[in-house]
Each structure stands twice: as structure tokens, then as C-alpha cells.
């Protein structure tokens, strides 16, 4: 049996379930969450504006999600790649919604090479200051 994980969602202003996503690097570690569609293309996100020098939060963007989307969790010590034993990647395919605030993902295999290059680059250098690496969509 494959591992499953519950993810808490938020609702967009239109009432659609969305996942908060974002991430970045620190001195020698990193953590990121992103969403790919069923075709493994980066889903557009809306950047959540934060102000001030201490605006370092993991929820820099919201991404509407549907069944079949893939949630990717990246973490570990730099560099971000499959050859680094301290670089961790986990993929979760959304199988169903338990209600409008919770989704269930089933673990699936995924490699760093399947992630858009700008995400890998952004996770390697991004210090939670600019959403362009994680947000292909609208930046309100």
C-alpha cells in the first residue's frame, strides 16, 4: 500500500480549494512546495504580497488544485539535485478531497529532473523575497 498524506487547503475568493505554496533557501538548506498539473507542468499561482524585511513565510502563493494534480515537497541541504543524498523530494498525487478544506495525496515517485529548471534554480538561491520562481501566474 502506498503512503498517503492529508494537505490542508484554503479557499480562493471565488470559493475554489487552493494549496499555499512557496519556499526558498537559507544558509545551506532549502524547503519548497509547488504544484504540477496532471501533465507535470507547473501550475500558475497567485503571489501573496508580504511587506517588510521579515516577510519570510512558506505560504507565498496560492494555487488552485484539482484531483490529479501533483504536490511536490523539496527539502534538504544544498545543492538541489538527485545526486545529493541530503536533497529530498516527495511527490503526492491528489486522489480526492475529504471536504473543501482537506485533500489527500498518494505518494508517487518523482525526480528533480522532472521539476521545471527555474524552480530548482529558485529553490537554490531564493531567500523568500521574490515570487517569480514559484509563480507563473498573476501577481496581484
pLDDT (0 to 100) of residue 132: 47
Q: Residue 84 sits in which domain range?
A: 4-133
Mean pLDDT in residue range 54-69: 74
Whether pLDDT at 37 is above 80:
yes
Greatest mean pLDDT range, 37-46, 75-84, 102-111: 102-111
Within-domain flag for 139: no
Within-domain flag for 140: no
Within-domain flag for 124: yes
Within-domain flag for 116: yes
CA distance 110 to 9: 22
Please tell me the total count of domains within the chain: 1
Per-residue pLDDT band for 139 (boundaries 50, 70, 90) equals very low
pLDDT (0 to 100) of residue 20: 85
Taken in order 79, 84, 86, 89, the sign of the CA dihedral is positive
pLDDT (0 to 100) of residue 44: 82
From residue 42, give the alpha-carbon distance in Å to each of 36, 82, 118. 4, 19, 10
Whole-structure pTM value: 0.80
Mean pLDDT in residue range 61-72: 92
Mean pLDDT in residue range 81-85: 89
Within-domain flag for 58: yes
3-class SS letters over the chain: CCCEEEEECEECCCCCEEEEEEEEECCCEEEEEEEECCCCCECCCEECCCCCCCCCCCCCEEEECCCCCEEEEEEEECCCCCCCCCEEEEEEEEEEEEECCEEEEEEECCCHHHCCHHHHHHHHHCCCCCHHHCCCCCCC
Within-domain flag for 56: yes
pLDDT (0 to 100) of residue 137: 44
Per-residue pLDDT band for 133 (boundaries 50, 70, 90) equals very low
Mean pLDDT in residue range 125-139: 47
Within-domain flag for 97: yes
Give the mean pLDDT of the chain: 79
Within-domain flag for 24: yes
Amino acid at each position: 500500500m502506498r503512503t498517503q498524506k492529508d494537505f490542508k487547503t484554503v479557499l480562493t475568493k471565488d470559493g475554489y480549494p487552493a494549496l499555499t505554496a512557496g519556499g526558498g533557501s537559507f544558509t545551506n538548506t532549502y524547503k519548497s512546495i509547488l504544484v504540477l498539473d496532471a501533465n507535470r507542468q507547473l501550475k500558475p499561482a497567485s503571489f501573496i504580497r508580504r511587506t517588510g524585511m521579515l516577510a519570510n513565510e512558506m505560504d507565498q502563493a496560492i494555487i488552485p488544485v484539482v484531483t490529479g494534480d501533483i504536490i511536490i515537497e523539496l527539502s534538504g541541504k544544498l545543492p538541489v539535485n538527485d545526486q545529493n543524498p541530503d536533497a529530498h523530494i516527495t511527490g503526492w498525487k491528489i486522489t480526492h478531497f475529504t471536504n473543501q478544506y482537506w485533500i489527500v495525496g498518494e505518494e508517487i515517485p518523482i525526480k528533480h529532473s522532472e521539476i521545471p529548471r527555474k524552480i530548482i534554480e529558485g529553490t537554490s538561491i531564493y531567500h523568500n523575497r521574490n515570487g517569480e520562481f514559484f509563480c507563473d501566474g498573476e501577481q496581484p
